[in-house]
Structure 1
C-alpha cells in the first residue's frame, strides 16, 4: 500500500497559529507547518477527511478523484469535514463512494449529501470486520469519544497485497485487555497519535509521550509491532518539545514523527531511486529536503557537504546544524569540494549538496575571482561530469536554479551564474532524472 500523509498535526496543527511557545516558534522558523492528520491510501481510500485534507492533497500533488472509500474515526471537526461530500458532488456526479464510520459520524455527513448522490453510508462499531473494495478492514475500539463511548473507532487495514497498517488516531491509552485483539497482527506500519508530549494530564483521550511509549510496548507485547514495523507518530501538537528533541525521544521508542506530504510504501519495497538525479530549486524552495526524501528508504547514505565550514558565520552554522539534525543518524557526512573522488570511491548512495557551493569552492581554489581565468574550473567540471557518469551507486545532487534571476551587477556574479547554469544543464543531461522544486512542490523535468 502507498500511504500519503496529508497531514500529521493535531486539531490546531503545529505550530498553533495563535501561539508563541518555543515549540511553535521552532516549527515556524523551520517552515515545518503540520496540518490536521489524515492519509490517502493508494489514491482510492482516505483515512479521515478533515476540512484541511482536500486542499492538502492538492498541495502534495495528489488528486482525490479516484477516492471510493472514506474511513472516518470520529466526528471531531479536525477528522471530519463533511462539506467535502458536497464539493465532490459538484464534479463527481454518478461516481459511487462508501463513507464508513460510527453512526454518529455518519449522521454528521448526511445533511451534506443529496438524495440522488451515489454515497453509501456504512455504520460500524468496534469488533466489526468488512471488505472495503480491495481492502479488508477490522474496526477497533478507541479510548476517545465525541459525545458517548463507542462513537470513535480505529482501523486495522489489510491491502490487496497482504500489507497491513494500523490507523490509531485518536485514542488515549488502551486497557491491557484490548491489546489481545491484535495478537500477532505483525503490522507493516502503525500510525499512532502522539498529541500532548509531556502534558499527558491535559486529556485521557489522547496520548502524550509516556502513553505513546506504553502503547507501543503493548502492541509489541501482542506481536502487533515487530522489529520491522514502521511506527509513525501523527496528530502531533505544540505541547510536544521542538521537533529535534521529539525525534530523538521517539527514536528511543523505535518510532519517528511523520511529515506532511510524506509517502510511505507499507509492506513494499520502496521505488528505486534513479541512478543519477539532479534536484534544482531556488533559495529556501525545499530542494534539499526533497533530495533527502528521495534517499530516505536507504539504511545508509553518505551526505557530501560541499560548502565546508565558515568560521565566524553564525547564520551559516545554523543552516548546517539544521540540515544535520534532520538527517537520520545512520547517514554519514563528508565535507569536501573534491566531489569527483567521492563519486568514484562511493559504495553506498550519495547526496551531494550542493553544486553551487562546490563551484564556489573551485573558483576560490583557482583564484578565479582575481585572475578572471576559469580554465582550471572548466577542467574540474569535466572531471566532475566524468565521475558523475561513472558512479556505481544511486546519487542525488542538489543545485541552485539561477536562470530566472536578475542579471548580476558584477562581472564575478555573472561569471558564477553562467558557469553554474551550464553545469546544471550538463549534469541534467547526464542524469536519468531531473526535478525542479518550487515552493516545496517537486516538478519532474526529466524521467528515464
Structure 2
C-alpha cells in the first residue's frame, strides 16, 4: 500500500464524504463561512500577521517568494494555497521555526476536517468553504510568525476574505479568467480582486498588463486610505548582467536571478520583497539572495528530470510542466519558452489538457509562432475536462498543428516517433491545467513535498 497515495489518506476519505454531502465548486458569498467560523470561535481572528494574496496570475509564485524570504530569516510561516496538484495536504503548509514549513500531517488534517464538519452541522455550504475554515483552524492552533493566505477565486466574496486586518494585501497581475463569476472585463475583475483591501492596511500592487486594471486597484487603495506601493512606480526589478536588480524607496539590492525560470518571475520576486517589507518584516540583501536561490513552486515551469514518464519521451528531451491555463499565463509561459530557445535551440512540442471554463484559443495563440505541434490529452479528476478532439480544434483555430491523444505517455511516444534523430532533442511543455499537471506529477511519481 502506497501511503503517499491520497486514496489511503484519512483526510482524503473525510473530504470524499463531504463531497458527497455538499456541492462542488464556488458559491461566492461570505455569509456561510462567517456563520461557520463563528461556531468555531472565529479562528481567523487569532492568526499571526497575514499576507493576503489575490490576482489572476502569479499568486502562487509570489506566495512562494514570500515564504522563501521569511524562512530565510528563520521565521515560521504558515502557507495556504489552492488548488492542490496531487494531494489535498499541499494546501496547508505548517510553519516550522528556523526551517522550511511542512505539509500538514494527515491525522491533524483529518481531525480538523471532522471538527469543522461537526461544527457546520450539515448546513448548506461548499466544500471549498469547509476547507477554508480548516485553514483558519489549523493556522490559529499552531504557532507561527506569519501566515500567507492565497485567495481561491476573485477576492471580495472569496471565503478567505474574512481577515479584517491583514498585514498587507497583495494584488498580482490581472487578466481575463473565471468570467462567469468575476465579469468579462479586466476592470470588473480588478474590482473583485481589490475587495481584499482593508481600510488603512498596506497594499502592494504587482506588475499589471492592463492600465485600466491598475487604475481600479490604485483608486480603491487610495479611497480606503491604504499605504500603497505600486510596481513600476514605487518598486521594481530588472535583469542586468545576469543578475536581478531590485529597487524601491528604501534602496537597491543586487541579487541572483530567481531559481524559478522565466522573466515574469522578476516582477513576482519584486512584489514579494515589497510585500514582506510592507508587512513589517526586514528584508536584507543576504536574506533575499538566499530566497532567490531556494524558492520552490511545483507545477509552474517545473522541469522533470526523473520519474516514470521520462521513459516514454525521446532521449535527451527537455520536459517542463506548467499549470497556467488562461491567455495571460500562456503569454508568460510562451515568453519563457522563447527565452530557453535563445539559449539552446530545440523544437518545442506542447502536450495540453484544459477544462471547459477556460479560453483555449487565447491560450494557444501565445504559442502560434514557436510550437512545432500540439498533442491534446484528457484529464483525470474533473468532470469539466475538454474533449481532446475539441481542444485540438481550438489549437488549430489558433494556427497550430494539433492531434488528440489518449494520454500523456502516448503523446510522449508520438513525439519520439516524429522527431529527427539527427536534430537537437525536443523541448516538451505539458500544461494548460493544474489538474493535468497534478495527473502528470502523480503518474511520474514526483508529487509536491
Instruction: Say yes or no: TM over 0.5.
Output: no
TM-score, structure 1 normalization: 0.29
Give the structure with higher Rg (CA): 1
Work out which structure has the larger RCO, using CA pairs closer than 8 Å and 6 or more positions apart in sequence: 2
